[in-house]
Amino acid sequence: MGTSINKRSNIKESNIGIATILAFAMIPVSGFATDIYLPSLPGMTSALGITNSQAQLTLSLFLISYGVSQLFVGGLLDSYGRYKISMVSMFICCISCVIVANTHSIYVIYAMRIVHGITMAAMVVSKRAFFVDLYSGEKLKHYLSYFTIIWSTGPIIAPFIGGYLEVTFGWESNFYFLGGFAGLLFILELIFGGETIKHTTPFHPRAIFSIYYTMARTSSFTLGIGMLGLAYSMVMVYNMSGPFIIEHYFNLSPVITGYCSLFLGLAWMAGGFLGKGLINKPFVKKMNINVALQFLAASLLLLTFILFGGLWTILVFAFLVHVGAGFTYNNYFTYCLQKFPRNAGIAGGLTGGVCYVIVSILSYSLIYLLPAKDGHNLSYSYLLLIIISGMVMYRVRMLDK
């Protein structure tokens, strides 16, 4: 059982501890990018004169670009290093946030959200690889198991802050906040960061494609990514529909939307802690129980909403579904990232990239087919995703036998 720290490139020895904290601080940035302005979605539709689906598309475009970019950025990071690419991305991300906050053109916002996805992909994937560069054995497994937990701070904190920003300053303030966060990380990385890659892989597209092909042919790996996409889609379906249900169906304020998102963000974090606490328990058994409990919670959401129709019915049972989603994500994320340690950048990029492409397609398709109007459609979306998760998990179990 190794707990060693690997040989490093040019990052200073004295800065390793602070750099590790900064790497963890970078992990939830994608969650901030999706969740900080969730309470502002209905307000954006009014301020910009756009439809609900156009506002929701700003989320989907970010997810698609974030996911697709991760498919390619891993190879660049393994060939040219982590640090410079990450720094340039942070700077561009900061500028693009300011542009969003100063335009009222939905098409400019669409373009900048795509830029957000590309830059944040480079930032987050570089920091995933950071841990594989510096740590190994049980120490690495320990840190990887924290990823879901740390990431969940974004969905917990961001909508809570965003609700108050929306009410006090308007929707633009959310993007000033996001840009300021990226700018702060840029300054701290400039002071304490450094390159961490141990061995670079020559940038030969054919060789890199061969690595991608090998990973893609590993069925347990690709199905594991599918489970990640299904788990996060449960969260994203709520993120895209919840603000409209709360502010239009229940006629409540964006601040209440923020509190509700904070509450459900805690569910994702609880699932991550539960996954870490049960990390050494039999994998198949705990995942079977998890899916069964999720199905029960989604069914009770549908039943209780039909009987009572209150916001509490959505929050209580969606909380349980999201705990299960966080549990699934924690287990399968560690499962996927440990399969190809010699190509950490590519593996991390492929894992996150395909996951987010799945999330963007599934969540937007479900919202289109089952529009955000009440708890009925939300429960139907949950049930469909949970049933598919059970089928995929069954296939993974057969491959691992």
Higher pLDDT, 345 or 359: 359
Q: Are residues 46 and 23 in the same domain?
A: yes
- Per-residue model confidence (pLDDT) at position 173: 94
pLDDT of residue 230 exceeding 90: yes
Task: Answer whether residue 3 is part of any domain.
Answer: no
Provide the CB-side half-sphere exposure for 268 (13 A, CA).
Answer: 30
Looking at 169, 195, 221, the residue that finishes a domain is: 195
Choose the weakest-confidence range: 8-12, 33-37, 146-150, 189-193.
Answer: 8-12
Q: Are residues 228 and 285 in the same domain?
A: yes
pLDDT of residue 160 exceeding 80: yes
Q: Are residues 89 and 229 in the same domain?
A: no
Specify burial of residue 130 (Cβ count, 10 A radius: 0-12, 13-18, 19+).
buried
Task: Answer whether residue 1 is part of any domain.
Answer: no
pLDDT of residue 382 exceeding 80: yes
CA distances from 285 to 63, 289, 393 (A): 32, 6, 11
Rounded to the nearest 5 degrees, what angle is found at the Cα of 265, between the Cα atoms of 263 and 266? Answer: 65
Q: Are residues 81 and 213 in the same domain?
A: no
Q: Are residues 382 and 245 in the same domain?
A: yes
Q: What are 263's two structure tokens?
A: 């509450």
- Domain CATH for 123: 1.20.1250.20
- Per-residue model confidence (pLDDT) at position 5: 42
SS3 135: strand
Q: Are residues 167 and 275 in the same domain?
A: no
SS3 55: helix
Task: Answer whether residue 210 is part of any domain.
Answer: yes
Residues 85/77, Cβ–Cβ less than 8 Å: yes
Q: Are residues 69 and 133 in the same domain?
A: yes
pLDDT band at 1 (very low <50, low <70, confident <90, very high): very low
User: What is the C-alpha separation between 90 and 230, in angstroms, rounded?
Assistant: 29
Q: Are residues 346 and 389 in the same domain?
A: yes
Residues 136/85, Cβ–Cβ less than 8 Å: no
- Per-residue model confidence (pLDDT) at position 8: 42
Q: Are residues 23 and 167 in the same domain?
A: yes
User: What is the C-alpha separation between 136 and 398, in angstroms, rounded?
Assistant: 29
Closest residue by Cα to residue 6 from 131, 138, 97, 189: 131
pLDDT of residue 215 exceeding 80: yes
Task: Answer whether residue 8 is part of any domain.
Answer: no
- Per-residue model confidence (pLDDT) at position 345: 66
pLDDT of residue 51 exceeding 70: yes
Instruction: Give long-range contacts, CB 8 A cutoff, 24+ apart: 397-400.
Output: 397/284, 399/219, 399/220, 399/223, 400/220, 400/284
Averaged pLDDT, 343-356:
78
Domains of the chain: total: 2
Residue 259 lies in domain: 204-400
Q: Are residues 129 and 230 in the same domain?
A: no
The residue written with tokens 């594991």 in the block is 224
SS3 5: strand
Q: What is the mean pLDDT of the chain?
A: 86
Q: Are residues 181 and 232 in the same domain?
A: no
pLDDT of residue 148 exceeding 70: no
Task: Answer whether residue 2 is part of any domain.
Answer: no
